[in-house]
Structure 1
Amino acid sequence: MSLLKRLAAWLVFLGLFYTAWLLLVFGGGMWSVVVDHWPMALSMAIGSYAAGSTPMGGGTVGFPVLVLLFDMPASLGRDFSFAVQSIGMVSASIFILCRRQPLAWSMLRGAMLGAVLGTPLGILFLSPLIPELWIKLAFAVIWGSFGVLHLYRLQEITSHSELGAGASAREFRLGLLAGFCAGGMAAAITGVGIDMVVYALLVLLFRVDLKVAIPTSVIIMAFTSLVGVAVKSLTGTWQPGVLGNWLAAAPVVALGAPLGVFVVGLIGRKPTLLVVAILCIGQYLWTGYTERDTLGFTGMMVFIGAVLVCLLGFEWLRSRGNVGSTATDDVSRSPVVPLGRSAV
């Protein structure tokens, strides 16, 4: 099958999106809005690459740019994450599916079902109760812990070679639980996070190859973003300012995220993950520095402790994965004894 035929669905998506964007921008007289928000387009050129090449949604760059750099409300960063990922990560997901890249389907199916159930509940009932500061801190902790984990476990994580189970009831159940909890809490509050949770389960517990784990995390974040966009649109609860930033960033991420999927296959994932890990730690430190007066000593201790708790959770998953791996190795090394004979 020729390359163009394999990518036909992705090319159709791009054609439909850019047609709609052009009609909206030029037909609706919104070009000046796009120009006014050009810094977000520039920022998301980097963010979209990370979205396609790592287990991080594009909002992982968009959120700190809006909230930390431009001093916008954290709720705007969350809503923008949903909106921009519904284009960039959906584009990357279609690209991944067209290329027929291997995926952890059992985990993915469970997580998608969990996200459908948990994300709307989180957006409708939990998210309105969370103060702006807590949203900002939750985002910083989630991705700060991700960065620290990859600084000291990167070599091990990049050495995994498992492909994931094609049909595993255990992976499906864990995916369902992860999708419900992470969709209802992390994604509903910050706009990202479910991708990192699914990724952590795959690489730490099941020791799945990054070539499988990262595309799987991209697709679950894309799916959850679509759920978030649907809920936000039906309830009319979008934060002011999302549209302008989305108009500027969307045409960039539609190509940038798939580009990340493609380029990382050429240069390898380790350099990209290392850079992303450093950026994640940087935004965590930046958040702590800017909010130090608000948090005070006790708050800062909790802020630091939250990362340690996340790391303990990661290490617990890893320990369970090591136990499972050892048991599997023992079984594979056991002699196969023909029926009717005894092992000597």
Structure 2
Amino acid sequence: MTILQPPKPKLWIWFLTLAGFYLVWSWLVFHDGQWNEVVTHWPMAAAMAIGSYAAGSTPMGGGTVGFPILVLLFGESAELGRDFSFAVQSIGMSSAAIFILSRRQPLAGAMLKGALLGITIGLPLGIFLVAPWVPGLHIKIVFAVVWGSFGLLHLWRIGEIASHEGMTDFDEHWDHKAGFFVGLLAGAAVVSVSGVGVDMVLYTVLVLLCRADLKIAIPTSVVIMAYGSVLGIFTKLAFTGVQPGVYGNWLAAAPVVALGAPLGVFVVDLIGRKPTLIVVAVLCVGQLVWTLVQESQSLGVLGLTGSIIAVVVFLLGFEKLRAWGAVLGGDDVLAQTTQSSLTGTNLAAIQEDSSSK
């Protein structure tokens, strides 16, 4: 698998784009008399100080914090939370991505290129054909279940995930194809509905199937979500419009996340990724519990049961990816311990296919 790691950092590119952003933001706020909007929405700016750090240091975008704060804490609609996720990440995640690229951090090149192509097709299709048919309650549940499952995965497997070094070397064509389907499906089914998610899905494939080092998997996930956020917000602005209230919250939070996300990229190299991932995983599980309790009457027994079953299905899927990754990576001990999770899968065929490559 190609690892893009050019030799010399060029941080002046990031500083230049950051200066350009603050000039535009200042013009929008002071020339157009929007300072009152910034002051009115200061709680979101404060919340996104934490969210942007998580966006740069973990595979979970700033919308992972912004969505539940707007929807669960502030009582806003799920549609507003989704559109705000697109808007705020288009600044924070983009700033972090430019910072990553300027520092010449290693990326999973072939899989990232495939995912970029996939989400370019999948996200607009999802915005036009999927998202309009998903009710606000279901948006909340999709977000809660996906990120709750992701949090549980890390609380259970963080030691193993954090121990990976390098990546399992597959054929680049296979990597590109896998990335394409991740971008296409996640863009259409998850990102279009919740405003976040392709970063988490690509990261999961990288760490469980490809057994990638966190220093490769997390920057790759940041770059794909940055692109997805920019694509999402421009698609909505051009064709569907965004929810009222997005602009005011964006004005308040944007100058914070433009620095906070790159700060997360930098600081996590000093303190390590494992502690931050554990904290964010706890938050992901917490918002799942909070959502299910808050929406228990609307969901009813059937809805609550279905949500819990969905979490279990996600966790079983994660375990299956992990077992495949062990087989393809040649870890016989791990493969034997996880064989029971691959019911109906021909492990010998997979191993033979891996050897042939």
Kindly indicate whether the alpha-carbon contact (under 8 Å) linking 1:162 and 1:208 is maintained by their aligned counterparts in 2.
yes
User: Who is 2:252 aligned against?
Assistant: 248
Match of 2:242 among 226, 238, 243: 238
- Report the aligned-residue RMSD: 1.8
Give the C-alpha shift of residue 53 in structure 1.
Answer: 0.1
Over 3 Å counting, the alpha-carbon distance change for 1:243 and 1:71 in structure 2 is same
User: Who is 1:307 aligned against?
Assistant: 311
User: Who is 1:271 aligned against?
Assistant: 275
**Aligned equivalents of 2:230 and 2:110: distance in 1?**
20
Query: Equivalences for 1:106-255 in 2 at 5 Å?
Result: 106-163=110-167, 168-255=172-259
User: Is the partner of 2:329 in helix, strand or coil?
Assistant: helix
List gaps (5 residues or longer) in structure 2: 1-7, 334-350
User: Who is 1:94 aligned against?
Assistant: 98
User: Is the partner of 2:130 in helix, strand or coil?
Assistant: helix
User: Who is 2:289 aligned against?
Assistant: 285
User: Is the partner of 1:265 in helix, strand or coil?
Assistant: helix
Q: Which 4+ runs in 1 deviate beyond 4 A?
A: 164-167, 327-331
Give the C-alpha shift of residue 163 in structure 1.
Answer: 3.7
Over 3 Å counting, the alpha-carbon distance change for 1:140 and 1:5 in structure 2 is closer
**Aligned equivalents of 1:165 and 1:51: distance in 2?**
27
User: Is the partner of 1:55 in helix, strand or coil?
Assistant: coil
**Aligned equivalents of 1:133 and 1:21: distance in 2?**
33
User: Is the partner of 1:238 in helix, strand or coil?
Assistant: coil
**Aligned equivalents of 2:201 and 2:296: distance in 1?**
28
**Aligned equivalents of 1:233 and 1:299: distance in 2?**
33
Give the C-alpha shift of residue 162 in structure 1.
Answer: 2.0
**Aligned equivalents of 1:138 and 1:236: distance in 2?**
21
Kindly indicate whether the alpha-carbon contact (under 8 Å) linking 1:105 and 1:165 is maintained by their aligned counterparts in 2.
no
TM-score, normalised to structure 1's length? 0.93
Give the C-alpha shift of residue 230 in structure 1.
Answer: 1.6
Query: Equivalences for 1:33-112 in 2 at 5 Å?
Result: 33-112=37-116
- Say whether 1:325 aligns with 2:345: no
**Aligned equivalents of 1:171 and 1:193: distance in 2?**
19
Read off the aligned partner of 1:93 and give its amino acid letter: A
Read off the aligned partner of 1:80 and give its amino acid letter: F
Give the C-alpha shift of residue 165 in structure 1.
Answer: 5.0
Over 3 Å counting, the alpha-carbon distance change for 1:299 and 1:95 in structure 2 is same
Deviates more, 1:4-13 or 1:50-59: 4-13
TM-score, normalised to structure 2's length? 0.90
**Aligned equivalents of 1:164 and 1:24: distance in 2?**
47
Read off the aligned partner of 1:76 and give its amino acid letter: L
**Aligned equivalents of 2:332 and 2:307: distance in 1?**
38
Kindly indicate whether the alpha-carbon contact (under 8 Å) linking 1:104 and 1:164 is maintained by their aligned counterparts in 2.
no
User: Is the partner of 2:59 in helix, strand or coil?
Assistant: coil
User: Is the partner of 1:6 in helix, strand or coil?
Assistant: coil
Kindly indicate whether the alpha-carbon contact (under 8 Å) linking 1:55 and 1:195 is maintained by their aligned counterparts in 2.
yes
Read off the aligned partner of 2:35 and give its amino acid letter: W
Deviates more, 1:320-329 or 1:179-188: 320-329
**Aligned equivalents of 1:15 and 1:162: distance in 2?**
35
**Aligned equivalents of 2:261 and 2:171: distance in 1?**
28
**Aligned equivalents of 1:208 and 1:11: distance in 2?**
29
User: Who is 1:32 aligned against?
Assistant: 36
Read off the aligned partner of 2:12 and give its amino acid letter: A
Kindly indicate whether the alpha-carbon contact (under 8 Å) linking 1:47 and 1:61 is maintained by their aligned counterparts in 2.
yes
**Aligned equivalents of 1:68 and 1:167: distance in 2?**
43
**Aligned equivalents of 1:238 and 1:66: distance in 2?**
15
Kindly indicate whether the alpha-carbon contact (under 8 Å) linking 2:9 and 2:103 is maintained by their aligned counterparts in 1.
no
Kindly indicate whether the alpha-carbon contact (under 8 Å) linking 1:106 and 1:166 is maintained by their aligned counterparts in 2.
no
**Aligned equivalents of 2:220 and 2:329: distance in 1?**
21
List gaps (5 residues or longer) in structure 1: 335-344
User: Who is 1:9 aligned against?
Assistant: 13
**Aligned equivalents of 1:112 and 1:29: distance in 2?**
37
Over 3 Å counting, the alpha-carbon distance change for 1:5 and 1:314 in structure 2 is closer
**Aligned equivalents of 2:327 and 2:95: distance in 1?**
37
How many residues in Structure 1 have an aligned counterpart in Structure 2? Answer: 329
User: Who is 1:261 aligned against?
Assistant: 265
Kindly indicate whether the alpha-carbon contact (under 8 Å) linking 1:122 and 1:183 is maintained by their aligned counterparts in 2.
yes
User: Is the partner of 2:105 in helix, strand or coil?
Assistant: coil
Over 3 Å counting, the alpha-carbon distance change for 1:323 and 1:165 in structure 2 is closer
**Aligned equivalents of 1:132 and 1:207: distance in 2?**
35
Kindly indicate whether the alpha-carbon contact (under 8 Å) linking 2:142 and 2:194 is maintained by their aligned counterparts in 1.
yes
Give the C-alpha shift of residue 185 in structure 1.
Answer: 1.0
User: Is the partner of 1:162 in helix, strand or coil?
Assistant: coil
Kindly indicate whether the alpha-carbon contact (under 8 Å) linking 1:106 and 1:167 is maintained by their aligned counterparts in 2.
no
Kindly indicate whether the alpha-carbon contact (under 8 Å) linking 1:104 and 1:166 is maintained by their aligned counterparts in 2.
no
Query: What percent identity do the matched residue pairs reach?
Result: 59
